[in-house]
Amino acid sequence: QSVLTQPPSVSGAPGQRVTISCTGSSSNIGAGYDVHWYQQLPGTAPKLLIYDNRKRPSGVPDRFSGSKSGTSASLAITGLQAEDEADYYCQSYDNSPYWVFGGGTRLTVL
Amino acid sequence: EVQLVESGGGLVQPGGSLRLSCAVSGFSLGDYDMYWVRQGIGKGLEWVSMIGYAGDTYYPGSVKGRFTISRESAKKSLYLQMNSLRAGDTAVYFCARAFGSSFDLWGQGTLVTVAS
């Protein structure tokens, strides 16, 4: 099982807002390490979506936002679109084994 | 163009060895920490190795002592030598570039299948 815990799936209708949670512990998120989020479309490599908890790389729409509090983090997607259907992973750093991921969340656009 | 291209995957028997390569273009290998991350079929992402720009290396317990990450900056290549392979090592292996503690650039991945 993954060091960071994510819900296996979430869903929403076009135009709606969805959130994906990422729960860690005192050795990773709770220790102050940054949380990053990746989007993985079917059959492709992961793409950096949010870094350092809430920053967006160039080209990522502002419909995607991130937040962090305590031992958890969240990814929010507003104005849901069909093209957002993908797997989403959170990632952080841990005292051991260093770089850790969540188990991934499958987003279905209804 | 800035990109990473993996190669070297394939079918290998349990206990066998394989060396993966990652060709780098558009930036200097020696300026970045680099990683290998794998994804089992239908599963999540797992970090498997890291080489710092200073040459320091790190591995999780699941592969430590069996996998070795290295690089040749002149050849613009990152490598992952995998020995004593097990069925549980079957996965798509991605090379990735560090951006702080995140990974901002990924290759397309190469599939490693460990089976008899």
Across the beta sheet with B3-7, the strand order is: B3-7, B18-25, B77-82, B67-72
% residues pLDDT > 70 (chain A): 99
Smallest Cα distance from B91 to chain A, Å: 13
What does the pLDDT average to over B13-38? 96
- DSSP-derived letter for residue B17 is -
Interchain CB distance below 8 Å, B44 and A57:
no
Average pLDDT score, chain A: 96
Q: What residue of B is the nearest CA neighbor of A103?
A: B44
Count Cα atoms within 13 angstroms, Cβ side, for A79.
Answer: 5
Q: What residue of A is the nearest CA neighbor of B110?
A: A45
Of residues B60, B100, B107, nearest to A45 (C-beta)? B107
Q: Give the confidence band of A96 by pLDDT, cuts at 50, 70, 90.
A: confident
Write the pLDDT tens digit of every residue in B42-85.
999 999 999 998 899 999 999 999 999 999 988 899 999 999 99
User: Which pLDDT does position B54 carry in this prediction?
Assistant: 87
What does the pLDDT average to over B2-12? 97
Residue A80 scores a pLDDT above 90: yes
DSSP for B46-98 reads: EEEEEE-TTS-EE--TTTTTTEEEEEEGGGTEEEEEE-S--GGG-EEEEEEEE
Q: What are the b/e assignments for A28-46, b being 16+ CB within 10 Å?
A: bbeeebbbbbbbbeeeebb
Q: Give the confidence band of A95 by pLDDT, cuts at 50, 70, 90.
A: confident
- The CA distances from residue A81 to A17, A49, B71, in Å, are 10, 16, 41
Query: Tell me, what amino acid is at A44?
Result: T
Element (H, E) at A94: strand A86-94
| Residues B100, A34 contacting (CB under 8 angstroms) | yes
What are the backbone angles phi and psi of residue B87, rounded to the nearest 5°? -55, -35
Residue B88 scores a pLDDT above 80: yes
Q: Strands B3-7 and B18-25: what pairing?
A: antiparallel
Write the pLDDT tens digit of every residue in A39-74.
999 999 999 999 999 999 999 999 999 999 999 999
